[in-house]
Amino acid sequence: MKTKVRVGKKLTIHIPKAVAEELSIKEGDVLSLNVKDNKIILEHNDAILLSLKGKKFTKITLDEVEKISEEEQSKYENPN
């Protein structure tokens, strides 16, 4: 999606409603602002949004999660 915005008083920029809705941005959210290659990049770092739409780094099965959990718990049951 590409749109134009106008810089207002005190250098404010209004995020268009369609963009805010697409990114699930709501009042009070904190966005990250980065400048790269003469461009302004705003990122919505909502944990739920990232888990649903963000890049996946690995896959793990429920059995693997259970095994790791049991290993971690055993450290507290039999400390050495």
The domain 9-77 is classified under which CATH number: 2.10.260, 2.30.30, 3.30.70, 3.40.720?
2.10.260
What letter does residue 78 receive in the DSSP assignment?
S
Q: What is the pLDDT of residue 14?
A: 92
Q: What is the pLDDT of residue 37?
A: 96
Which residues lie below 8 Å from residue 6, measured CB to CB, with a gap of 6+? 13, 14
Q: What is the pLDDT of residue 74?
A: 87
Q: Which carries the bigger pLDDT value, residue 11 or residue 78?
A: 11
Per-residue tokens: 56: 């996946």
How far is 20 from 26, CA to CA, in rounded Å?
A: 7
- Other C-beta atoms closer than 10 Å to the C-beta of 53 total 11
pLDDT in tens, 28-80: 888 889 999 999 988 877 666 666 666 777 788 888 889 999 998 888 876 65
Q: What is the pLDDT of residue 22?
A: 87
